[in-house]
Structure 1
């Protein structure tokens, strides 16, 4: 678990620290018009790789695949530190994204192997704590590296931490016995290509319909190919499992509704003349609320079941959405912090309970892919939500009308997410 926690801290801190330092990096390397692609290459690749990595771990074991993910992430970090052009940085960030995509599902997968359901909430609270810690450490480290050394050290710092994680992982005696089978290489390629084409529509401004159409065609081909494969990379039986499918639908809709708000709340507070540091502190409200419900949620699932708890989480999400609607010019820090706490309570309950459910309602040799698909659904929903919110924000008559339109979208979308939670029945 120490190995997993360190790896998660590295991945989460890398995601946060690049937000702080990327303007400086782009200024030094040139090619500012490629700025967005330094984020997009990482996001697209890591999102696509995660479910594939989870499935391969079902076939070949957690420890081996997790180790490979750490090594690839470490290589990508080293290459990013050596980058001399924006094109190089974008390509090397994609390598990092491969490693991150392999790494990120494993905290929950390995926790599912090691702990019974009633204890997994406490473990996930530790994982949430790593995201909270990275939210504080990353901006501070980014500023220190830029001022006293070089931005390249935001990538080099990952290397010793990855080595420590690997050293600790070496002692791990894997409990899961893999069910070895032939890897569905063509299925993995079709899945990665189709999803990548669809995700590109969130970062490109031209040929969006062409990317969408091509992505749908490839995914349809993937579906028919997987139906005939003896060991598919994404077992379609999971999609026929009603509760699993419902959990994934709700994960997508809830993230598309409000999870992306965290990307815009600091900007709102900065418009209210709060500093970068203070505006970032508001996001600690999410971590606080998350940990409050994550710790006991494992025991709650045994008492009340998955469906009821996910519905309660979605009700809290609707309440957070309603609170956002009244935010306007002059809204103070503590009100925004309170909204973030409610949002943390909502997603802490939805994510923790859905993760446990996605593991408990499948066979042991499908636990990896089921957990990864849950993460994949959330990532896709977040990408869609952030993109839609950004469009509302930039098209407003002024910044505050843009924020209001963004919040109206989030509230309405949270109602659809709540409605989808009633599909989770008999669990």
Structure 2
């Protein structure tokens, strides 16, 4: 028993460290990119350094989950850490913007492979009633990353070099790999033929569709080509004996509804965290203080995530998802009433409410995606939840950004974003009513 607990603690160290570096990497690069451009040039291309990372990390998550079902968690997760580590070294050595874009893509592949594993592995080694606490701990890491990233970025640029925003990942990734070494695989992989054709079609189709949210030029062409690839992918997967994304998973009604809720709730308001710092800085607050406001999200998230596992056993999935989305609607209303003279405490309270909403929605959906499928589909089911959230977030940031930039007055655009968020969050609240029954014994 002690060996089992020690093993569990060791793997937790590994996955938490990997999550920390992957979640910090986007924010820390955002804060230092002007300095990077000044040194290596390529200002006309710098947006692609974000795009290449975001697109590939989003696309690879569900594929990594499926590969872990086929070959085991440890091998695929370790491969993701190594790719991220290699990409980080190369990014730090970049001599031009083109090189940085290419190496950020490698980093993005590694991050995409790593990101589903905290939830997947936790689902393998922890019972349901403890998973809420584990999810809360993961959330704390996201909150820590949100605060640490700009501080570290500023420190490295001021006292060392921007290259250290990438080199700092090296020791963390090495410790993560060493902590993974003694881990004994809990899940017994069910080997099968690898659907390479489906993987390529899926990656290409989603990448092209995501490009429509990050680039302005030729986005209609990207969208059309992406849609064509996804239609071909759908029919290809229906005929494949071992599809990379099992479409029969979507016939599991509660799981399909949870995936839909994850996507729509994120499309409604998850992009908020990208705009609240801008709102606060517009009021005269510093970058650090605006980061503190985002901590409210982490606090709210942890408050509900810790007991969520026990709540699922007691109440089932449906009522908890309805309550979570109800909190999201309240958050949209609170956001709408933020104006030019709103006190900081109100902004913090609003972000805390956002954390309560998403903490409940995400934790319950993650548990459901693991408990309501067969063991050999747990990886793909969990990673599809993450994928739905990432796509929903991309949609949210794109639409909110468009509403804000088209407005002639900042606060008009700001309020317009949350009219959109309120309407979409109402849709998300009613979707869980379609779950016919998820008795607590199903969650055991």
Which bracket does the TM-score occupy, shorter chain normalised? over 0.9
Report whether the alignment pairs 1:186 with 2:194.
no
**1:395: which partner in 2?**
406
Gaps of 5+ in 1: none
The counterpart of 1:41, out of the listed 52, 57, 81, is 52
Report the secondary structure of 2:241's partner residue.
coil
On the 8 A contact 1:247/1:424 being kept in 2, the answer is no
Report whether the alignment pairs 1:138 with 2:149.
yes
The counterpart of 2:356, out of the listed 337, 340, 345, is 345
The offset of 1:129, in angstroms, is 0.8
The counterpart of 2:368, out of the listed 357, 364, 377, is 357
CA offsets per residue over residues 27-54 of structure 1, 9 Å max, x none?
2221212222111111100110000000
Equivalent-residue separation in structure 1 for 2:144 and 2:219 (angstroms)? 37
The offset of 1:425, in angstroms, is 2.8
**1:57: which partner in 2?**
68
On the 8 A contact 1:389/1:406 being kept in 2, the answer is yes
Equivalent-residue separation in structure 2 for 1:148 and 1:5 (angstroms)? 27
Counting only pairs closer than 5 Å after superposition, residues 267-278 of structure 1 correspond to structure 2 as 267-278=278-289
**1:247: which partner in 2?**
258
Q: Would you say how many aligned residue pairs link Structure 1 and Structure 2? A: 427
The counterpart of 2:14, out of the listed 3, 25, 32, is 3
Higher deviation after alignment, 86-95 or 10-19: 10-19
The offset of 1:338, in angstroms, is 0.4
The offset of 1:22, in angstroms, is 1.4
Gaps of 5+ in 2: 1-11, 439-444
**1:70: which partner in 2?**
81
The offset of 1:424, in angstroms, is 2.7
**1:100: which partner in 2?**
111
On the 8 A contact 1:112/1:356 being kept in 2, the answer is yes
TM-score (norm 1): 0.99
Equivalent-residue separation in structure 2 for 1:416 and 1:380 (angstroms)? 17
CA offsets per residue over residues 215-259 of structure 1, 9 Å max, x none?
111111111111111111000111111111111111000000000
The counterpart of 1:172, out of the listed 172, 180, 183, is 183
Equivalent-residue separation in structure 2 for 1:424 and 1:267 (angstroms)? 38
Counting only pairs closer than 5 Å after superposition, residues 212-361 of structure 1 correspond to structure 2 as 212-361=223-372
Runs of 4+ in 1 over 3 A off after TM superposition: none
Report the secondary structure of 2:436's partner residue.
coil
CA offsets per residue over residues 50-71 of structure 1, 9 Å max, x none?
0000000000000000000000
